[in-house]
Amino acid sequence: MRNAIGTKRAVGLLLALAMLALLLPAAGAEETAVATEHKWWQDTIVYQVYPQSYQDTDGNGYGDLKGLNEHLDYLASLGVGAIWLTPVMVSPMVDNGYDVADYTDIDPRYGTMEDMEQLIADAADRDIRIVMDLVLNHTSDQHAWFLESASGRDNDKSDWYIWRDPKPDGSAPNNWRAIFGGSAWVWCEARGQYYLHTFAPQQPDLNWENPEVRQAVYDVANFWLDKGAGGFRIDAITYIKKPADFSDGEPDGADGMVGIHAMTANTEGILDFLREFKENTVAGRDVFTVGEANGVQASELPDWVGENGVFDMLFEFSHVDIGNGTAHTWSDPAPWTLTDLKAAFAASQQATKDNGWYPVFLENHDQPRSINHFLPDAEDPVMAAKLLGTLLITMRGTPFIFEGQELGYTNVAWDDISLYNDLNTYAQYLFAMEEGFTEEEAMEGVHRFSRDNARTPMQWDDGENASFTDGTPWLPVNDNYTEVNVATEAADPDSVLSWYRTLSGLRASSQVLLYGDYTELFPESEEIFAYRRQTEDGEMVILLNFTNGAVSYDAAAVEGLEPLLSNYGDAEAGALRPLEAVIWH
């Protein structure tokens, strides 16, 4: 399909570029005082790198910091002003770096502290800042803090983690189930107590009630700020405050347990901790923070990111969770419609309208690829990728591109569970089997939601292993790499990559896209996602056809406007072709 309509698309792109050329001088001339009120991180695009999968330079099959450094010009060409680097600190890699054993050193898998300093400096030369991923809810069970805490009840760190006595019968203190499956408690012989882990057993939760723990995590943040980090993405932050009540919850599964998320996420008092974090670390520095906040509702955003909020931006999950419903297993997804997706975006846009700022994202290292997630029936993945890219880059907020998204990556579907790497994929598979789903249903869930969908190596060209590594890649490269790769797409003006570059240039030079208000159009439509972006001086209307068929809309929505950019190259008022994405101005 890609080749069949490639020529038409190339012509279309010429038209689009011509339209863009018309716009750019006008937009550039629009420089107003508004721009100066904005922070650098509101005007830029953030790109998330999963370093393990980006570029290997030493042939061990794992990406490294030197490899990422080699591609800074590529990222600059996408208009990226900040790279969110998932954790590269010393780690046993049970959860690929989200189990930190030393916060102030680089894991040898990724290189050295010199490589990190070089990366920060070389990125700065290109006006790109490196944003570190801080994992502060838990450490690795190999961290020196935990080893000391677990050595007995009488040591300096004895109260640094969440320790509880067993129930009278010796069993775990309560029936909470960890996010990665099984009881959230692990028995420690040396203390005669259990410790709590929200995620894997090797990820014990820190005790934020202890002021020494809080000071220690502030020291970690300040260490990286002093190294020149441009800010932080802060992991799993909604779990740091535990409730006073540790009693059993109502079971939600055949195992008699209740998911810990329901018991501990976003507990009252959490914002006090986070205010203190802000005051002791980022306050007064020209950096940004984005919290990962599963469990915070869009309506609560103003408390978190408003003028007096604790972060600059917050990832809340209502739009990516739409397929999950209330189900506790990947094998029982909830049906959803386009209006559900639009309502999720509308709520977060509304909540950050006058106060705070929104990080727009459709993918990250924990999510399926967005084409499979949001357009699972799309007949043309290239058009689908362009449509979703348009949504990502034209919505109000700072766009976060996840590596490969700019190339139109899609999910993988390996036959056998043993081919997967991600621990949560195994946990979900086992849980589905325990809940009585068949092997086939369990694997369907894995194919749909496995985090490995996002983690396959970067596809740089059509050479062996997509030139990600000279060795054996830690996770197989997606079979589509001969077509979907940077070199091929960079040479094709009609590729997904070229589309992203065009959109990125458009956003950077458009006051309307950077600062304009957001108003949803046709909110009831199950076919079209549409919105208006508007400043006092200008207006754009973005129309996205989420179906494989032709659809129509009330042309009054674009009256007086001209088509600016379309993934078909031209546009007709009132009509949209399959998976058409069009911007009117």
Question: Which residue, 449 or 546, has its beta carbon nearer to ligand NOJ?
Answer: 449
Question: Which residue, 95 or 494, has its beta carbon nearer to ligand NOJ?
Answer: 95
Q: Tell the burial category of 112 from Cβ atoms under 10 Å away from its Cβ (0-12, 13-18, 19+).
A: middle
Shortest distance (Å) from residue 83 CB to ligand NOJ: 16
- Is 265 within 8 Å of 322 (Cβ atoms)? no
Q: Does 105 participate in catalysis according to the annotation? A: no
Name the residue with the smallest CB distance to ligand NOJ. 98
- Cβ of 193: how many Cβ atoms within 10 Å? 19
Q: By three-state DSSP, how is residue 505 classified? A: helix
Q: Which residues contribute to the site for ligand NOJ (CB under 6 A)?
A: 95, 98, 135, 199, 235-236, 292, 365-366
Place of tokens 């990226």: 80
Shortest distance (Å) from residue 95 CB to ligand NOJ: 5
Shortest distance (Å) from residue 90 CB to ligand NOJ: 15
Distance CA 310, CA 277 (A): 8
Question: Which residue, 199 or 529, has its beta carbon nearer to ligand NOJ?
Answer: 199
Shortest distance (Å) from residue 161 CB to ligand NOJ: 15
Checking 505-508 for CB contacts under 8 A at 24+ apart, the result is 505/20, 505/24, 505/79, 506/20, 506/23, 506/393, 506/564, 506/565, 506/583, 507/45, 507/79, 507/393, 507/394, 507/399, 508/43, 508/79
Question: Which residue, 200 or 392, has its beta carbon nearer to ligand NOJ?
Answer: 200
| DSSP letter string, 323-334 | TTTT-SSTTSPP
Q: Does 235 participate in catalysis according to the annotation? A: yes
| Pairing relationship of beta strands 45-49 and 398-402 according to DSSP bridges | parallel
Question: Which residue, 294 or 485, has its beta carbon nearer to ligand NOJ?
Answer: 294
Q: What does the angle CA 343 – CA 501 – CA 470 come to, to the nearest 5 degrees?
A: 105
Element (H, E) at 344: helix 338-351
Shortest distance (Å) from residue 117 CB to ligand NOJ: 25
Shortest distance (Å) from residue 449 CB to ligand NOJ: 13
Question: Which residue, 363 or 366, has its beta carbon nearer to ligand NOJ?
Answer: 366
Q: Is the backbone of residue 250 left (phi > 0), alpha (psi -120 to 50) or beta?
A: beta
Distance CA 394, CA 512 (A): 9
Distance CA 195, CA 217 (A): 19
Catalytic residue among 99, 133, 292, 312: 292
Catalytic residue among 56, 115, 235, 422: 235
Catalytic residues: 235, 292
